[in-house]
Amino acid sequence: MTAVSAPERTCIGCRRKRGRAELVRLTNEAGRVVPAHAGAPGRSAYLCPEQACLEAADKRRAFARAFRGPVVLDPAVHRAVARHTSDERR
Ligand SMILES: [Zn+2]
């Protein structure tokens, strides 16, 4: 048994593994992809808080794959990514 490490998740945009806390968690709410609050139930996907990853995931239809069906990206996801990015720069 190894020591407990930070949980890692894979970004659906760039496929890199990062600590869960570094990623934006997304969930499917009635066909819309929205940022999930901590502990929200259901299937979720993770994305780096970077515009490039958001665009890559969108182009590769990674959202539909992650949520197993057609979904639309809620503008709140863009805001969550932008907010995360500006927090880091502060
Ligand atoms: Zn990424």
Can you give the CATH number for the domain in which 67 is found?
3.30.1230.10
pLDDT at 41: 80
In a domain, 4, yes or no: no
CA distance 50 to 30: 25
Domain that holds residue 37: 9-89
The number of distinct structural domains making up the chain is: 1
For 2-24, give the secondary structure using H, E and C: CCCCCCEEEECCCCCEEEHHHCE
**Is residue 69 in a domain?**
yes
Answer yes or no: is 3 within a domain: no
The pTM of the full predicted model, rounded to 2 decimals, is 0.83
CA of 7 from ligand 1 middle (Å) equals 16
Cα of 74 to ligand 1 centre, how many Å?
18
Q: Give 1 Cα–ligand 1 centroid separation in angstroms.
A: 29
Q: Is residue 43 part of a domain?
A: yes
Could you tell me the mean pLDDT of each successive run of 10 residues in the chain, 90 residues long?
A: 76 95 93 88 92 97 96 96 72
Ligand 1 geometric centre to CA of 61 (Å): 14
Could you give the 3-state DSSP secondary structure of residue 29? strand
Distance (Å, whole) CA 28 – CA 82: 20
What spacing in Å lies between the alpha carbon of 25 and ligand 1's midpoint?
12
